[in-house]
Amino acid sequence: MKILFLDLDETLIIDWDNIVPIRENLDRIHNFIVQEQISEAYIFSASIWTEEERLFFQNNIEPVISPYLGDIHLIPLLFKDIFSTIVKEHKLHVEPSDFNDLFVFNTKMQPFIEWCKIKKKGSTCVLFDDIVDNSVVQFPDLDLTIEFKKIEVTK
Protein backbone atom coordinates (compact mmCIF):
# COMPACT_ATOMS: atom_id res chain seq x y z
CA MET A 1 0.00 0.00 0.00
CA LYS A 2 1.33 3.44 -0.95
CA ILE A 3 1.00 6.21 1.59
CA LEU A 4 1.41 9.83 0.56
CA PHE A 5 3.26 12.48 2.56
CA LEU A 6 3.34 16.13 1.52
CA ASP A 7 5.41 19.12 2.51
CA LEU A 8 3.64 22.47 2.73
CA ASP A 9 5.90 25.47 2.13
CA GLU A 10 7.03 25.79 -1.49
CA THR A 11 5.34 22.49 -2.28
CA LEU A 12 1.59 22.97 -1.78
CA ILE A 13 1.52 26.66 -0.85
CA ILE A 14 3.97 29.52 -1.27
CA ASP A 15 4.56 29.64 2.48
CA TRP A 16 2.87 29.68 5.89
CA ASP A 17 2.41 33.47 5.75
CA ASN A 18 1.37 33.55 2.10
CA ILE A 19 -1.26 30.83 1.71
CA VAL A 20 -1.44 30.79 -2.05
CA PRO A 21 -1.79 27.35 -3.63
CA ILE A 22 0.91 26.29 -6.07
CA ARG A 23 -1.45 24.94 -8.69
CA GLU A 24 1.08 23.21 -10.92
CA ASN A 25 2.40 21.20 -7.96
CA LEU A 26 -1.10 20.45 -6.68
CA ASP A 27 -2.10 19.20 -10.14
CA ARG A 28 0.93 16.90 -10.25
CA ILE A 29 0.13 15.54 -6.80
CA HIS A 30 -3.55 15.08 -7.67
CA ASN A 31 -2.55 13.06 -10.75
CA PHE A 32 -0.31 10.91 -8.54
CA ILE A 33 -3.18 10.36 -6.07
CA VAL A 34 -5.48 9.22 -8.87
CA GLN A 35 -2.91 7.05 -10.68
CA GLU A 36 -1.70 5.33 -7.52
CA GLN A 37 -5.16 5.14 -5.93
CA ILE A 38 -3.89 6.78 -2.76
CA SER A 39 -6.29 6.62 0.16
CA GLU A 40 -3.99 7.68 3.02
CA ALA A 41 -2.20 11.06 3.03
CA TYR A 42 -0.32 13.10 5.60
CA ILE A 43 1.23 16.53 5.88
CA PHE A 44 4.90 16.09 6.80
CA SER A 45 6.01 19.68 7.32
CA ALA A 46 8.37 21.37 9.73
CA SER A 47 5.82 24.21 9.79
CA ILE A 48 3.52 22.17 12.02
CA TRP A 49 5.13 21.71 15.44
CA THR A 50 2.26 22.56 17.78
CA GLU A 51 -1.42 21.80 18.14
CA GLU A 52 -2.13 25.46 17.38
CA GLU A 53 -0.26 25.14 14.08
CA ARG A 54 -2.17 21.96 13.29
CA LEU A 55 -5.45 23.80 13.86
CA PHE A 56 -4.24 26.71 11.74
CA PHE A 57 -3.50 24.24 8.94
CA GLN A 58 -6.91 22.59 9.24
CA ASN A 59 -8.82 25.88 9.37
CA ASN A 60 -6.83 28.04 6.95
CA ILE A 61 -4.62 25.99 4.63
CA GLU A 62 -6.46 22.73 4.06
CA PRO A 63 -9.58 24.52 2.70
CA VAL A 64 -7.38 26.32 0.16
CA ILE A 65 -5.55 23.23 -1.14
CA SER A 66 -8.22 20.52 -0.79
CA PRO A 67 -10.18 21.50 -3.92
CA TYR A 68 -7.09 20.71 -6.01
CA LEU A 69 -6.46 17.30 -4.42
CA GLY A 70 -9.87 15.69 -4.68
CA ASP A 71 -11.55 13.73 -1.93
CA ILE A 72 -8.45 12.73 -0.01
CA HIS A 73 -8.27 13.85 3.63
CA LEU A 74 -4.88 15.23 4.71
CA ILE A 75 -3.73 14.31 8.21
CA PRO A 76 -1.27 16.88 9.58
CA LEU A 77 1.51 15.30 11.64
CA LEU A 78 3.13 17.30 14.44
CA PHE A 79 6.86 17.53 13.83
CA LYS A 80 7.55 17.47 17.58
CA ASP A 81 5.75 14.10 17.73
CA ILE A 82 7.79 12.80 14.80
CA PHE A 83 11.04 13.68 16.56
CA SER A 84 9.80 12.39 19.91
CA THR A 85 9.06 9.04 18.26
CA ILE A 86 12.55 8.89 16.75
CA VAL A 87 14.26 9.95 19.98
CA LYS A 88 12.32 7.39 22.02
CA GLU A 89 12.91 4.54 19.55
CA HIS A 90 16.66 5.20 19.37
CA LYS A 91 16.96 6.03 23.08
CA LEU A 92 18.60 9.37 22.29
CA HIS A 93 19.20 11.98 24.97
CA VAL A 94 17.88 15.02 23.21
CA GLU A 95 15.77 17.86 24.54
CA PRO A 96 12.77 19.06 22.51
CA SER A 97 14.58 22.38 22.05
CA ASP A 98 17.29 20.48 20.15
CA PHE A 99 14.87 19.04 17.58
CA ASN A 100 15.32 21.95 15.21
CA ASP A 101 19.09 21.41 15.28
CA LEU A 102 18.58 17.74 14.42
CA PHE A 103 16.39 18.74 11.51
CA VAL A 104 18.85 21.31 10.17
CA PHE A 105 21.84 18.98 10.23
CA ASN A 106 20.16 15.76 9.17
CA THR A 107 17.98 17.23 6.42
CA LYS A 108 14.34 16.29 6.16
CA MET A 109 15.07 12.99 4.45
CA GLN A 110 16.66 11.27 7.44
CA PRO A 111 13.88 12.04 9.95
CA PHE A 112 11.35 10.85 7.36
CA ILE A 113 13.24 7.59 6.86
CA GLU A 114 13.59 6.98 10.59
CA TRP A 115 9.93 7.78 11.32
CA CYS A 116 8.71 5.50 8.50
CA LYS A 117 10.92 2.67 9.75
CA ILE A 118 9.20 2.96 13.12
CA LYS A 119 5.61 3.73 12.10
CA LYS A 120 5.02 2.48 8.55
CA LYS A 121 6.57 -0.98 8.22
CA GLY A 122 5.03 -2.98 5.39
CA SER A 123 4.30 0.11 3.30
CA THR A 124 5.56 2.27 0.50
CA CYS A 125 5.87 5.84 1.75
CA VAL A 126 6.11 8.63 -0.81
CA LEU A 127 7.19 12.15 0.17
CA PHE A 128 6.70 15.09 -2.19
CA ASP A 129 8.93 17.96 -1.08
CA ASP A 130 10.92 20.80 -2.59
CA ILE A 131 14.08 20.06 -0.55
CA VAL A 132 14.58 16.34 -1.14
CA ASP A 133 16.49 14.52 -3.86
CA ASN A 134 14.61 12.14 -6.14
CA SER A 135 15.50 8.78 -4.68
CA VAL A 136 14.25 5.44 -3.40
CA VAL A 137 15.36 3.72 -0.20
CA GLN A 138 14.39 0.14 0.55
CA PHE A 139 14.38 -1.82 3.79
CA PRO A 140 13.56 -5.42 2.78
CA ASP A 141 13.57 -6.69 6.38
CA LEU A 142 10.83 -4.16 7.21
CA ASP A 143 8.97 -4.61 3.92
CA LEU A 144 9.36 -0.84 3.57
CA THR A 145 10.06 1.30 0.54
CA ILE A 146 10.53 5.05 0.81
CA GLU A 147 10.30 7.24 -2.27
CA PHE A 148 11.37 10.86 -2.33
CA LYS A 149 9.92 13.01 -5.09
CA LYS A 150 11.42 16.43 -5.54
CA ILE A 151 8.83 18.93 -6.55
CA GLU A 152 9.91 22.11 -8.26
CA VAL A 153 9.17 25.43 -6.67
CA THR A 154 6.82 27.20 -9.05
CA LYS A 155 5.27 30.39 -7.80
DSSP 81: H
Q: What is the pLDDT of residue 105?
A: 44
Whether residue 105 is contained in a domain is answered as yes
Q: In which region does residue 34 sit, left (phi positive, over 0), alpha (psi from -120 to 50) or beta (all else)?
A: alpha
Whether residue 155 is contained in a domain is answered as no
Whether residue 1 is contained in a domain is answered as no
**Could you give the number of structural domains in the chain?**
1
111 is in which domain, residue-wise?
6-150
3-state secondary structure of 124: strand
Sheet containing 124-129: order of strands: 74-76, 41-43, 2-6, 124-129, 144-150, 135-139
- 27-42 pLDDT, tens digit per residue, is 999 999 999 999 999 9
Q: Are 8 and 45 in contact (CB under 8 A)?
A: yes
Whether residue 56 is contained in a domain is answered as yes
Q: Can you give the pTM of this predicted structure?
A: 0.88
- 48-84 pLDDT, tens digit per residue, is 989 999 999 999 999 999 999 998 999 999 877 777 7
Whether residue 138 is contained in a domain is answered as yes
